[in-house]
Amino acid sequence: MLCKKLLLSLLLTLLAAAPVAAETLKIGLNYPQTGRYKDQGLQQRLGAFLAVDEINKAGGIMGREVELVIRNTSGEPDKGAKNTAELIDREGVQMVFGGVSSAVAIASGRAARDRNRIYFGTLTYSNATTGAAGHSHMFREPYNPG
């Protein structure tokens, strides 16, 4: 529930800066479909599709339907950063979220920051994610590990 509220808040913030002509609001899910974190990735995917479905059934965000665009990180930081760049540059997403591995989230967050977009780490527990490697374009939902 907290994750859904935070995601909705971030989307509303992004919508204010998004071009008005777009019919849908594209967001990117960058998660591990393969690799050692694929089980957690599947849960992220299912939760993301559920949240998008609920948001769209409630009328979208300010009347705009949300469209989910997905990429597979395979749990690899370089691939996560490449996917994030592609989601923003080629697909036109307004924000990217995902990342089971903190290293993937950090690399993906940098790529988003370089493109002036928000990256929301949905399953990253490393303090470095929003601490030493943190920046104004990086958010996360999980608590600190210790």
- Flag whether pLDDT at 1 surpasses 80: no
pLDDT, the chain, mean:
85
pLDDT for res 122: 84
pLDDT in tens, 99-108: 888 899 999 9
- Flag whether pLDDT at 125 surpasses 80: no
CATH of domain 2-6+33-140: 3.40.50.2300
Largest CA distance in the chain: 45
What single letter denotes the amino acid at residue 98? Answer: G
pLDDT for res 36: 92
pLDDT confidence tier of residue 117, bands split at 50, 70 and 90: very high
Query: Which pTM was predicted?
Result: 0.80
pLDDT in tens, 56-92: 999 999 899 999 999 999 999 999 999 999 999 999 9
